[in-house]
Structure 1
Amino acid sequence: MTGIDERKPLAERKTEDIGRRTLLAFLLLAVWVPALFGQTAATGALTGTVTDAQGAVIGGATVTATNTDTNQARRATTNENGTYRFNLLPPGTYRIKFEASGFQTVEVPSIAVNVTETPVLDRRLDVAAPVQQEVTVQAAAEAIQTTDSTLGTVIAARTVTDLPLTTRNYINLLGLAAGANADVANAAAGAKGSQNIATNGASPNSNNYQMDGVPINSFSGIGNLAEAVGSSRGGIAIPNPDALQEFKIQTSTYDASYGRNVGANVNVVTKSGGNVFHGSAWEFLRNTALNANDWFLNSAGLPKTRMDQHQFGGTVGGPVKKDKVFFFTSYQGTRTKNGLGTAQNAATTNPSLPVMGTTGFNADASRGKCPLSATSVAQCDAAAQAFAAALAAPNQYGGKAGVFPGSATITPEANIHPVALRLLQLAAPNPAQSRSAYLIPERCSRSRRIPSA
């Protein structure tokens, strides 16, 4: 009996047969696909062969992999070739135990499994003595990857937190990988301080970024990381370094499971907590009193501009239910008062806006007023002309008036357009909150919070 009603028309029976075949194909794919991938963008794998003292393979041996942080265990059995394999292992350190009937039990206390990698751990078992013994072996998995030809670099959490990162942005470390080239970071820039990375001659927008296996590419930024000035393009989500377990940048010959772009694949894994409570707290300080003056400002006889920055936060993680459920959370706040440069491509000689009269949100209209019909600063009131002169003065070159070398000897304020003045004269909608009477305050002050869980 075929399950197809023979009394139905031939065309209808063919349609039903095609539908059943399609359903069967999908069911087979659902069974086979998990076995095809040893690791994903957020996991790793472990494989190896178990043999006896003479080198003969041992089938039916039990191999147990236990995560040393969470105590969660997985078991595998060697096949007729003596081979075992653990797929989709969360990155971390594992304790591996080998057991087989008639052989001594062997335990390897520490094997590191990195994201997207499959280390090889082979083990030889000796015949058991009359009295059962357990042998602990200090060993490491192969450093050279023999299971695939992917070229890449793994950067662990210790490296991320120990290396100096002015912006506290792990993206700045991607240039450590072979074949990766990064632009020069501007430590005085705003936003998250991301850098665009080019690998093996590909463009920066050819890279693919994933966090815990989920794509985090900024499609509005056309794949770029650095925030584009004067547009709505943004970067990608950047967790603080203390929330990262590790990340890997794959630069070439990665497998077909990574698609979308032809550049590098960056796989970030965040921390997830364990059986022991852990926490940390930090404060990173940059202060104008501790900074040297910029070379160009110093050569022009100008004082150093303000750069005050506080980066603070903490992490905490631990068990909700031991060996079962865990939690991890982190927070980082950034407070910046920046008189150096307010954008990625800003010159380091940009001065703070001059303070006219009193300061704070109770300041009077010290920037003056310009009529909408004004075509020159001379048509503005006296307060606006004084503000324009103070604004233009730091931009004089070589003691000459004007913004550019060799310009005509005119008053500096004549280079300030009245439309720009009117923008600077816009009143703040909530002066008490912005701490300034104006929409654009005297100095750039930024706050940034990076929570994660």
Structure 2
Amino acid sequence: MKKILLSLSLVIVSLFAVSQVDVRSSLKGSVTDSSGPVSGADVVVVFTPTGSTDRAVTNAAGAFVVNNLAPGGPYTVTVTKAGYAEAKAMDVFTKFSETSSVSVFMAAEFEEVVVSAQALESTIRFGNGTVFGEDVIDGLPSTDRGIQDIASLDPRVSVGQSEDFFSLSIGGSNPRTNDITIDGVSVNDAFGLNDSGQPTLRNSFSIETVKQLSVDVVPFDASRGGFTTGSVNAVTKSGTNEFEGDFYVFNRDQGMVGSDAFGNDPDVFNEDTLGFSAGGPIIKDKLFFYLNFESFEQTYPSFYGPVGSGATDEAYYVTQALVDRVRASASSLYGLDIGNYDSEQNNQSENTFLKLNYLINDNHEAEMSYIDTTSNLVKVRGNPPFGFALDSQWYDDRQGLEVVTTKLFSDWNDKLSTQVTYSTRTQTDNQDPVRGDDMPSVSIVINNGDGSCTGSSNCTNPFR
């Protein structure tokens, strides 16, 4: 039986006019003195890393709300009013998609009050989820350098191994039913082919770029969508008034992996990760940048061969003599080099991320981000012992993602804040035979040592 393997090349270009996930945070507060709420007090909220400022005035109940804040911190909340000493809440931190709380006490004018606070304990959240901050992300040892290691800290998340590197299940659901977003924009697999649910074979973005990560199980926020069970959203880092950068190298091989539940040792492999990040001001207090580049390479030596070869997995009935005979026939009759069985598998991935933040004024901020990710995975077919294939039967799955997003965050007054998002996404999927598009697929079914087949019902060990 013969069949022709054709190269499969798919491209999807999509536009996103509305963000599904609120990637900003809010801060609500109460201002009191010894007799009760303080109304008419001026509140100034300053994001220390960039100097961006938001303002509010307390109402009759002494309350105030500030929206569209960058998640994280630290923030400094300063409250002033005639007849009172200036009061401050220092080291205030927030989480995205949440409203955090802070309380400030004002004393008589001759006293100064400084309140140290972390606005993390009292929050309002639309859904049943978990948020992980930079302290967790930076401090957790990660074997795969991906969001799955962070998300699996939530007990409702299960991460499994698969041919496409990994699968991420929330509440026991199929990984393809989740919604994975970065800065509020979905980066799901539009073709629905990958076990991870992402459009590239590894993560679509480096874990080094992530500032906070949330895992939500069936969130009931009306602005969320595109999922059946779970939503995973990553908010990325931004530049600040300080120039910062890092360079990192990671290596992993079979010596760092233990035996499985059945006592089997892992296959021989080697993984190398190299990357760098840089961020800082282009115009101090006004325009900031953040850049990350990361490359990953994974190699697997050959692990199978014909009977008697001494390989980890040996094929039934297929001998070296038979392999030589088939190769010679393909070359002499058709002029084809049908390849080898001991070729090395080489899988690679590259991630580029760029983000710009522009503080237009105290009420408006613009943001632009760019993601470019390419990856490949050599997929082996016909593994022994019940099959045997030369590398001309393998195919190289090459996938890519490019996302460009622009956002405008605006605070019109104490009660009205808006976020406008426009995003384009291009996803590609190319599946090509390793030896080229003109290589036919040929199966030789055998069940005897001499390469013959006795009885078609018993010929279940194909040599491809």
TM bucket, shorter chain = 0.5 to 0.7
What's the CA shift for 1:156? 1.7
Compared CA separation, residues 76 and 51, structure 1 to 2 (3 A): same
What's the CA shift for 1:238? 2.6
- Of 163, 173, 184 in structure 1, the residue corresponding to residue 140 of structure 2 is 163
Per-residue displacement from partner, 1:83-110 (whole Å, max 9, x unpaired)?
A: 1111111112111111122112111111
> Whose Rg is larger?
1
What's the CA shift for 1:172? 2.7
Q: Structure 2: which amino acid aligns with 1:141?
A: A
Q: Structure 2: which amino acid aligns with 1:248?
A: S
What's the CA shift for 1:422? 6.8
Partner secondary structure for residue 137 of structure 2:
helix
Residues 19-418 of structure 1 correspond to what in structure 2 (within 5 A)? 41-55=22-36, 57-93=37-73, 94-129=75-110, 133-141=111-119, 143-145=121-123, 147-148=124-125, 150-178=127-155, 180-185=156-161, 193-199=165-171, 201-221=172-192, 225=196, 234=200, 238-287=204-253, 290=255, 306-339=268-301, 351-352=302-303, 388-389=306-307, 394-396=312-314, 403=316, 410=317
Q: Structure 1: which amino acid aligns with 2:299?
A: K
Partner secondary structure for residue 46 of structure 2:
strand
Compared CA separation, residues 224 and 95, structure 1 to 2 (3 A): farther
Cα separation, 1, equivalents of 2:303 and 2:299: 10
Cα separation, 2, equivalents of 1:293 and 1:71: 48
CA contact 2:252–2:270 (8 Å) conserved in 1: yes
Compared CA separation, residues 165 and 304, structure 1 to 2 (3 A): closer
Cα separation, 2, equivalents of 1:268 and 1:81: 36
Per-residue displacement from partner, 1:202-260 (whole Å, max 9, x unpaired)?
A: 44333222211212222212795257xxxxx7558532122111111122453212123
Unaligned runs of 5+ in 1: 1-36, 228-232, 340-350, 355-387, 397-401, 404-409, 429-437
Per mean C-alpha deviation after superposition, the further-off stretch among 152-161 and 327-336 is 152-161
Compared CA separation, residues 418 and 448, structure 1 to 2 (3 A): same
Cα separation, 2, equivalents of 1:311 and 1:217: 24
Q: Which residue of 1 aligns with 2:346?
A: 445
TM-score (structure 1 length as normaliser): 0.63
What's the CA shift for 1:447? 2.3
Compared CA separation, residues 115 and 296, structure 1 to 2 (3 A): closer
Partner secondary structure for residue 148 of structure 2:
helix
Compared CA separation, residues 197 and 64, structure 1 to 2 (3 A): same
What's the CA shift for 1:63? 1.0
Cα separation, 1, equivalents of 2:116 and 2:337: 69
Compared CA separation, residues 392 and 327, structure 1 to 2 (3 A): same
Compared CA separation, residues 223 and 305, structure 1 to 2 (3 A): closer
Compared CA separation, residues 441 and 448, structure 1 to 2 (3 A): farther
Compared CA separation, residues 240 and 253, structure 1 to 2 (3 A): closer
Whose relative contact order is higher, 1 or 2, with alpha carbons under 8 Å and at least 6 apart? Answer: 2
What's the CA shift for 1:144? 3.5
CA contact 1:393–1:412 (8 Å) conserved in 2: no
Unaligned runs of 5+ in 2: 1-18, 355-464
Compared CA separation, residues 185 and 426, structure 1 to 2 (3 A): farther
TM-score (structure 2 length as normaliser): 0.62
Cα separation, 2, equivalents of 1:307 and 1:223: 22
Q: Structure 2: which amino acid aligns with 1:257?
A: S
Q: Structure 2: which amino acid aligns with 1:270?
A: T
Compared CA separation, residues 255 and 291, structure 1 to 2 (3 A): closer
Cα separation, 1, equivalents of 2:133 and 2:293: 20
What's the CA shift for 1:173? 2.1
CA contact 2:100–2:120 (8 Å) conserved in 1: yes
CA contact 2:160–2:168 (8 Å) conserved in 1: no
What's the CA shift for 1:287? 4.4
Q: Which residue of 2 aligns with 1:358?
A: none
Partner secondary structure for residue 68 of structure 2:
strand
Q: Structure 1: which amino acid aligns with 2:227?
A: N
What's the CA shift for 1:319? 0.4
What's the CA shift for 1:44? 0.8
Partner secondary structure for residue 149 of structure 2:
helix
Q: Structure 1: which amino acid aligns with 2:159?
A: D
Q: Structure 1: which amino acid aligns with 2:88?
A: E
Cα separation, 2, equivalents of 1:295 and 1:59: 64
What's the CA shift for 1:164? 2.2
CA contact 1:252–1:264 (8 Å) conserved in 2: yes
Compared CA separation, residues 237 and 395, structure 1 to 2 (3 A): closer
Partner secondary structure for residue 335 of structure 1:
strand
CA contact 1:247–1:266 (8 Å) conserved in 2: yes
Compared CA separation, residues 391 and 85, structure 1 to 2 (3 A): farther
Q: Structure 2: which amino acid aligns with 1:172?
A: D
Give identity over the alignment, percent.
Answer: 22
Compared CA separation, residues 48 and 447, structure 1 to 2 (3 A): same
Q: Structure 2: which amino acid aligns with 1:122?
A: S
